[in-house]
Structure 1
Amino acid sequence: MAVNKNEKSLNGIPFSILDLSPIVVGSTPSDSFRNTLDLARHAEKWGFNRYWLAEHHNMPFIASSATSVVIAHVAAGTSKIRVGSGGIMLPNHAPLVIAEQFGTLESLYPGRIDLGLGRAPGSDQRTARALRRGIGNEQDFPEQLDELRAYFDPSLASGKPSVRAIPGEGLNIPIWLLGSSGFSAQLAGKLGLPFAFASHFSPNSTLPALELYRSAFQPSTTLSEPYAMVGVNVIAADTDEEAMRLATTLKQQFLNLGRNNEVPLQPPVDNLNDQWNEYEIEALQQQLGSSIIGSSETVKDKLQIFLANTQADEIMVISQIFDHQARLRSYEIVFEITKG
């Protein structure tokens, strides 16, 4: 595919990884955490920019519910790659607790910690109620964000702070806003913060949200111009056929979520046609429409198109693959594409 010389190139922007610490059928969370650290070490060796972990709860196929703890595990086992949250669901927590946790992480691993924040529950409403117990809800997110930022930088507080985050106060921890719609895009723009969009499960809202972020952006002490990172599912293998087969694990994950079938990550299958109906196929396309699946050549072409369309400043790759070695190979292919 010919690339317009004015377009961004794949080897001209950073690539990063979002890891859900998947629990595959027949394994345990302990296995997931070993695999997470192994992938992080490979990512560091290959030159990926950052390694984020996501907060989800009550999901039998995701082990990273205690996200700050897993971030510490990864940061301790690596030496230079940035490690952070993609994200912490702030309404689930008291802002002071998050300030202290990430202040601790930054104190332990200086200059390597990112704090990505979302406003969704990271699970179903019953689980959200079990987590929050009166802490807050999505509507409180802007106020919670203000409180959190003031713990790191007391000059942002409306008056002299009566409560301080120690560790945390005075530390320069990059704060990102995460989103799958326009709310956080606009808020990130107004505050002059970096923005990460979840195109990996909300593809149809990607371009409108990015446009909203860029148009709303106001320069700040954090950023002089917008900085947008976009998440995308990438399943890469040595052949298109093998990649398509590996991707059936991701498709089964979303099918099971839609059916409230709570199971660990399932192995790939040769044929999904007899497992879903027409409505489910359409719903899956709505959620996974931006996914990039194929061999190195196919993935390279599709990634370049994705970059041209989004004009992302950074791409974060998500690869929900059943077999750990196949998962490593998928990320290695992405590395080869971006550095070749």
Structure 2
Amino acid sequence: MLDRSRTRAGEPDAAAVRGTVARAVRAEQLGYHRFWVAEHHAVPGIASGSPPVLMAAVGAATSRIRVGSGGIMLPNHQPLVVAEQVALLEALHPGRIDLGIGRSPGFTEPVRRALRAGGADDAGFRAALDELRAYLDGSGPVTARPRLEHAVPLFLLATGAGLRLAGDLGLPAVVGGPVLDDPAALADYRGRAGDAAHLVVSADVLVGDPRLALSEAWAHASARTTGEFPPLEPPDPHRATTRRQRETVDRALANAIVGDEDTVAERLDDLVARTGADELLVFSSTHDRDAQADSDAALARLLGAGR
């Protein structure tokens, strides 16, 4: 499960991160295998800007579930600092830490300037990733402390060139969006990675009334037309909108896997069959926290989580 610490209209941002920790506790009780958090900076709709800090809180509140990042955006950070953060998390929660790495830049140009991000081009990202891996496996020019006693699994959030890079490096790849409909790209990844191939397919999954998905769909429509990704609002099927916003909402709803358990099960079966997914990374957001919790529980039952 990926939780992005979505903010909600009428709530302080802090409620979002407290909600993330509470959701992780429930996810562990429901039998989910991993719980990952995200990195977004200065986005009104997302309160999680520091995955390692939030991972530490989730790890402290849980005892068994694996805790990870989906992901840490490497161009925003020095590789040694990321390695030290991961090593510290692994020391505190041994055998439970995953490291998902991505390369997305900040949401807006002012954010990118504030982050002083670099290395987002293919060559720069590859160099930073190689440096990070060297610190993690102990072959770097300096030793990240505390020294890792066990390897931390590294996943690459990948599309296009990133998927090819994951294959060349033999890394698990986390994929979603249009690439899921590109069997040639997925086959190319498996061919490059060989026996090391591990495809994690991400999907927006919500079990319940399809109208619940409107909260997230409207946020996407707002981001497309105003440039600002807003907090979640209660779903309103009659909300006034432009044609462009309506088209964005319709696309978001079409891409989401939402409905009753039978509908969701059928669509997930199709997704796995089409992609050959080795693992599913599910995410969803709606304004109603109780409905979100009910969806998480229903999905756990549907997937047989923990068996």
Indicate which of 79, 96, 103 corresponds to 1:119. Answer: 103
How many residues are matched? 303
Give the superposition deviation at 1:173.
0.7
Indicate which of 63, 79, 82 corresponds to 2:66. Answer: 82
Indicate which of 191, 198, 214 corresponds to 1:227. Answer: 198
Indicate conservation of the 8 Å contact 2:222/2:245, yes or no: no
**Pair 1:130–1:208, CA change in 2 (3 A):** farther
Q: Which amino acid aligns with 1:312?
A: A
Indicate which of 29, 45, 59 corresponds to 2:43. Answer: 59
Q: Secondary structure in 2 aligned to 1:121?
A: coil
Q: Which residue of 2 aligns with 1:255?
A: 221
Please, which moves more after superposition, 78-87 or 204-213?
204-213
> d(CA) in 1 for partners of 2:214 and 2:61?
31
Give the superposition deviation at 1:111.
0.5
Q: Which amino acid aligns with 1:136?
A: G
Indicate conservation of the 8 Å contact 2:13/2:47, yes or no: yes
Indicate which of 188, 191, 197 corresponds to 2:169. Answer: 191
Mapped pair 1:295 → 2:260: yes
> d(CA) in 2 for partners of 1:145 and 1:232?
25
Indicate which of 113, 116, 120 corresponds to 1:137. Answer: 120
Q: Which residue of 2 aligns with 1:214?
A: 190
Q: Which residue of 2 aligns with 1:276?
A: 242
Give the superposition deviation at 1:225.
3.3
Give the superposition deviation at 1:280.
3.9
Per-residue CA distance 1:14-70 (angstroms, 9 max, x = gap): xxx010011101112221122111111111111111000111112111111111101
Mapped pair 1:182 → 2:160: yes
Q: Which residue of 2 aligns with 1:73?
A: 57
Please, which moves more after superposition, 285-294 or 258-267?
285-294
Computed over aligned residues only, the root mean square deviation of the Cα atoms, in angstroms, reads: 2.0
**Pair 1:71–1:207, CA change in 2 (3 A):** farther
Q: Which residue of 2 aligns with 1:40?
A: 24
**Pair 1:312–1:288, CA change in 2 (3 A):** farther
Q: Which amino acid aligns with 2:131?
A: E
Indicate conservation of the 8 Å contact 2:44/2:228, yes or no: no
Indicate conservation of the 8 Å contact 2:220/2:248, yes or no: no
> d(CA) in 1 for partners of 2:129 and 2:228?
34
- Structure 2 gaps of 5+ residues are none
Q: Which amino acid aligns with 2:216?
A: L
Give the superposition deviation at 1:295.
0.9
Give the superposition deviation at 1:214.
1.1
- Structure 1 gaps of 5+ residues are 1-16, 219-223, 238-242
Indicate which of 71, 75, 91 corresponds to 1:107. Answer: 91
Indicate conservation of the 8 Å contact 1:194/1:228, yes or no: yes
Q: Which structure has greater helix proportion? A: 2
Mapped pair 1:336 → 2:307: no
Give the superposition deviation at 1:177.
0.4
Indicate conservation of the 8 Å contact 1:68/1:102, yes or no: yes
TM-score normalized with structure 1 length: 0.83
> d(CA) in 1 for partners of 2:114 and 2:167?
32
Q: Which residue of 2 aligns with 1:6?
A: none
> d(CA) in 2 for partners of 1:194 and 1:204?
15
> d(CA) in 1 for partners of 2:144 and 2:235?
46
Give the superposition deviation at 1:126.
2.6
**Pair 1:102–1:309, CA change in 2 (3 A):** same
Indicate conservation of the 8 Å contact 2:214/2:249, yes or no: no
Per-residue CA distance 1:130-160 (angstroms, 9 max, x = gap): 1126x433331100000000001134x5xxx
Give aligned-pair identity as a percent. 39
Indicate conservation of the 8 Å contact 1:91/1:138, yes or no: no
Please, which moves more after superposition, 115-124 or 78-87?
115-124
Indicate conservation of the 8 Å contact 2:200/2:278, yes or no: yes
Q: Superposed, which structure 2 residues align to 1:131-170 within 5 Å?
A: 131-132=115-116, 135-139=118-122, 140-155=124-139, 157=140, 161=141, 163-169=142-148
> d(CA) in 2 for partners of 1:153 and 1:213?
24
Q: Secondary structure in 1 aligned to 2:39?
A: coil
Per-residue CA distance 1:259-314 (angstroms, 9 max, x = gap): 21443122111335x4231x444445556643111011111111111111111011
